[in-house]
C-alpha cells in the first residue's frame, strides 16, 4: 500500500509584504518578510527603508529557511509616513525573486507570537 506524503513547496527568494492602517492616520503599519541570501536581505531592506519616510522599526526577527542552505529570512514590522513603495526600485534590474502581497502578514490578537509563528511555519 502506498502512503501519500505531503509535498513541501520549494521556497524561493521573495519579498512578502502587507500594509495596514496605523493608529496615527498619517502613518502606515508595514510588515515585510524578505527571503534571500543574508547579504541580499540587508540590501533589499535598506532599499525599502530608503523608499519610505520617517521609518520607525518596531520589531525584527531573523531565521533560516528550512531545507535551503543559503536562504534566510527577516521579518520586519515598522511604521512609516509614506504609504507606497515602487518595487522596481527595490529589485532594480536584478531578477532575484517575486514580490507577494501577503495579507496574512498582520498582527494576531489570539496568539502571543502569532505573526512570528506564521512566518516560521511558512519559511522556517
Complete DSSP assignment for 68-110: -SS-EEEEEEEEES-----HHHHHTT----EEEE-TT-S--SS
Confidence of residue 107 (pLDDT cuts 50, 70, 90): confident
- Can you tell me the mean pLDDT for 57-74? 88
Helices (H) and strands (E) in the chain, counts: 3, 5
**pTM score:** 0.83
Query: Which pLDDT value is given to residue 3?
Result: 46
pLDDT digits (tens, 9 = 90+) for 4-51: 444 457 888 999 999 998 888 889 999 999 999 999 999 999 999 999
pLDDT of residue 111 exceeding 70, the answer is no
Which class is 14-123 in CATH?
alpha beta
Q: Any residues with CB less than 8 A from the CB of 86 and at least 6 apart, and which?
A: 51
Domain boundaries of the chain, sorted by first residue: 14-123
Three cell numbers, residue 120: 516560521
d(CA 47, CA 90): 6
Amino acid at each position: 500500500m502506498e502512503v501519500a506524503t505531503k509535498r513541501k513547496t520549494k521556497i524561493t527568494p521573495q519579498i512578502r509584504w502587507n500594509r495596514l492602517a496605523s493608529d496615527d492616520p498619517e502613518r502606515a503599519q508595514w510588515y515585510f518578510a524578505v527571503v534571500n541570501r543574508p547579504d541580499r536581505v540587508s540590501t533589499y531592506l535598506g532599499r525599502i527603508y530608503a523608499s519610505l519616510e520617517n521609518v520607525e522599526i518596531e520589531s525584527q526577527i531573523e531565521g533560516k529557511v528550512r531545507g535551503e542552505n543559503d536562504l534566510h529570512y527577516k521579518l520586519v514590522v515598522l511604521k512609516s509616513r509614506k504609504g507606497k513603495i515602487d518595487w522596481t526600485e527595490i529589485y532594480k534590474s536584478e531578477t532575484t525573486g517575486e514580490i507577494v502581497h501577503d495579507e496574512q502578514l498582520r498582527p494576531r490578537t489570539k496568539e502571543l507570537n502569532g505573526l512570528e509563528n506564521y512566518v516560521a511555519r511558512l519559511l522556517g
